[in-house]
Structure formats: C-alpha cells, structure tokens
Amino acid sequence: MSHFPFKVLAVDGAARAGVLHTHHGEVPTPAFMPVGTYGAVKTLTPGELADAGTRILLSNTYHLYLRPGAELVGRLVGLHAVMNWDRPILTDSGGFQIMSLASLARVDDDGVTFRSHLDGSGHRFTPELAVRVQELLGTDIAMCLDELVSPRSDKPTALKAVERTLAWAHRCLRARSSEKMALFGIVQGGVFPDLRAHCAQVLGSAPFDGFAMGGLALGEEPGETWQAVETSLLNLPEARPRYLMGMGTPSDLLDGIQRGVDLFDCVMPTRNARNGTLFTRAGKISIRSASMKEDKSPPDPECSCFTCRNFSRAYLRHLFLTREMLGFRLSTIHNLSYYHQLVSGAREAVFSGSFASYRKEVEGLWVDQESLL
C-alpha cells in the first residue's frame, strides 16, 4: 500500500480529475508544476507562487547536488525550510541534465560518471546516490535515475537505455529509506512504441507511487511524441498518478489532460515571461510591441491575477524597455496564473463532464490557432 494515496475523483473520456496526497499537503490534479531548478522559481517569492495558484513545484536534483550540495541542504533541515515553501516539491533526478551534457558524461550499467559543468570536477552518480540526495533534500516526490536517448537514436540504443532505466528503477526502490518521500518510475523507450509499452508494463508491476513519461519533445515529430505518451498510458496502472515531463505549451497541457495525464512541468511560462511574452486567453502577446505603448488595458482583461488587477500593458512595456526587474516579476506572476487557471478549468470541466467543450472554448478564443503551441 502506497503511503502517498492518489484518488481519481472524476473522469471524462480519458481525462481525469483527482487528488494526490503528500507529506506537505494535497495536490488537486491535473496540476502544473513551475520549475524552480535551483530551489527558486526565477523572480518570485514563495508567497507570490502560492498567490498565483501553485500547489506543487519542481526542483532539480543534479543542480542542487552540485550547488549548494545536498548535505548542506540536509543540515539546513531540507529544501522546504530553505525555500520557506510549505507545499509539495517534486525533484527530477538529473537524467535529462546528464544527457544534455553528454560530452561531460559517461554512462555504464552501474551509473554515470560526469564532470561538473560549473568547475569541471569529477562526480559519480548511481541510482542509490540519486535517492539519497533526494532524501537529503527532503523532497515529497522523487524521480528514479533514468537514461534517456536522443529521438534520433536507433532501436538497439534505445533498448539498452530502457534496460538500464528498469534496472536502475528497481535499485532506487531498494535504496529508498524515507517513508515521507514518494518515488516515481520513469518510462523511457525513445520513439519506439513497443519499447515504451515494455518499460511501462515492467514499471507498472512494481510498487512505485506514480510514473513519469520522459525523453519526449526532444526533436521527434509531434505524432511520435503523442504515440509514445498514449502507449505509455495504456500500459500504466490507472490508479496511480501519471506525469508528463518537460512538455508545457498550453496545447500540450490540453492534449495531455485529454489523454489522462495528471502532472506537468515546463520552463515555458516563466522563461517566456522574462522574454516579454505573455499568455492570454486570446493567445500570446509580446509586451515589448509598439502596439502596447499606450494600451491602458491589463495584459488579459479576463484574468484575475495580481498583475492584471493592478497594471497595464503600457506600464509592463515600459518596465521591459527599461529592463526593470519588476517587469519580469509581474509577467511571471501572470503567466503562471494563466497556466494554473487553464488546468484548474480543465479539472472543473472533467467534474462536469464537459472537457471537450471546455477545450473547444479555450482554443476558440486564441486569435492565432498556432499562438499557444
């Protein structure tokens, strides 16, 4: 029996609404997790995150292991205390970062040897160490160490990565000692449906608290992406939460929810905010645009976030042109509020059995049908 029960409360087709219980509180699903790689969501305080609607956020094991160090975070009573965040945290194990720094890493069946991208120092990461680091961080939901491959990899390479991912996942299970930390297995398999199905079936038969789908949206065709997601979902237990890693356009969220995904994360809303791109019910807008110069309206007239209640497009444009940090903060508050309102609306639609019409209504308001892709 899982110490972290998940309950599906309503379904509408494959879309579902549920609640995930963690040591730091409940997470209504579907849910979007802002990315706080180094233990902070850029420009925002914990209070601002909560006010924007954040119920759970993501931090990264690889980066926190290197700086400031998991042992130090542990001595400071964990990531929640350090961040002053009293809601759930999920930590990625660092598999993606290791792959993205492939020139600095060497993978074998036991683990990964790599050099820090910060100072070139040598390190050795194993499944057991990945779990220990996440326990020191005090995360609520930990991810198993996995190996992902480029979508251009051939099938034998992808199969080898699946075999390692499965072996490492079982080692992570054996290594876990904290009853306060949930552990998710990660489905890999590149763009090969049979490998995805096999990985999901093996993980699904093990006592993980939930499952993630990783290694996607890395350059493969959209059809390959969603086929991999659908194949994974078909072979995972319905009674446990499913998390789609690193995919987070508004369209991705709606596509994933429609297929039965419960959790999402992406840097898109926060990164775009700092670049002056805001998500609105009518599509994306560039707050730097000359058309905003004398626009007295809020970024999104239908939005109730702090930014839209108090500031105009013209003022935000001024802040960006003068590179005032307040502009980055206000835009980030708005974009995260938009994302949380989008998934909250989807959750309500599942309860009322109207997800299809909700999606049609949301997408029908986008001025450019490609604007939020």
Q: What is the pTM of this model?
A: 0.96
Checking if the pLDDT of 124 tops 70, the result is yes
Average pLDDT, integer, range 276-293: 97
Q: Which amino acid is at 124?
A: R
Secondary structure (3-state) at 113: strand
pLDDT-derived band at 249, boundaries 50, 70, 90: very high
Q: How many CB atoms lie within 10 A of CB 117?
A: 14
Catalytic residue among 12, 92, 140, 209: 92
Q: Which two tokens mark 160?
A: 């080898």
Could you give the C-alpha distances from 110 to 4, 99, 146, 366, in angstroms and in order?
29, 16, 12, 49
Q: What kind of architecture, by CATH, is found in domain 27-266?
A: Alpha-Beta Barrel (3.20)
Residue 286 near residue 315 (C-beta atoms within 8 A): no
**What proportion of the chain, given as a percentage, has pLDDT over 90?**
91
Catalytic residue among 12, 146, 265, 300: 265
Checking if the pLDDT of 246 tops 70, the result is yes
| Per-residue pLDDT at 105 | 86
Give tens-digit pLDDT for 226-245: 999 999 999 999 999 999 99
Average pLDDT, integer, range 28-36: 98
Give tens-digit pLDDT for 184-227: 999 999 999 999 999 999 999 999 999 999 999 999 999 999 99
Q: Which two tokens mark 134?
A: 């996440």
Mean pLDDT for the chain overall: 95
Q: Kindly report the CA angle at 240 between 155 and 22, in degrees rounded to 5?
A: 120
**Rg, Å, the chain Cα set:** 20
**What proportion of the chain, given as a percentage, has pLDDT over 70?**
97
Helices (H), 188-240: 193-204, 222-234
Average pLDDT, integer, range 133-147: 97
In the chain, what are the helix, strand and coil shares in percent, each to the nearest 5? 45, 20, 40
Give tens-digit pLDDT for 57-79: 999 999 999 999 999 999 999 99
Element of type H or E holding 329: helix 325-352
Residue 58 near residue 92 (C-beta atoms within 8 A): yes
> Per-domain residue ranges for the chain?
27-266, 275-365
pLDDT-derived band at 104, boundaries 50, 70, 90: confident
Respond yes or no: is residue 92 known to be catalytic.
Answer: yes
Q: Which amino acid is at 286?
A: S
pLDDT-derived band at 170, boundaries 50, 70, 90: very high
Checking if the pLDDT of 260 tops 60, the result is yes
pLDDT-derived band at 262, boundaries 50, 70, 90: very high
State the Cα–Cα distance between residues 96 and 88, nearest whole angstrom: 22
Query: Which of the 8 DSSP states describes residue 104?
Result: G
pLDDT-derived band at 372, boundaries 50, 70, 90: low
* Range with the poorest average pLDDT among 16-20, 74-78, 148-152, 338-342: 148-152
Checking if the pLDDT of 1 tops 50, the result is no
Checking if the pLDDT of 18 tops 70, the result is yes
Checking if the pLDDT of 371 tops 80, the result is no
The alpha carbon of residue 241 and the mean position of all alpha carbons in its chain are separated, in whole angstroms, by: 13
Average pLDDT, integer, range 45-50: 98
State the residue for tokens 């995930």. 20
Checking if the pLDDT of 369 tops 50, the result is no
**105-107 and 112-115: which strand pairing?**
antiparallel
Residue 50 near residue 305 (C-beta atoms within 8 A): no
Respond yes or no: is residue 252 known to be catalytic.
Answer: no
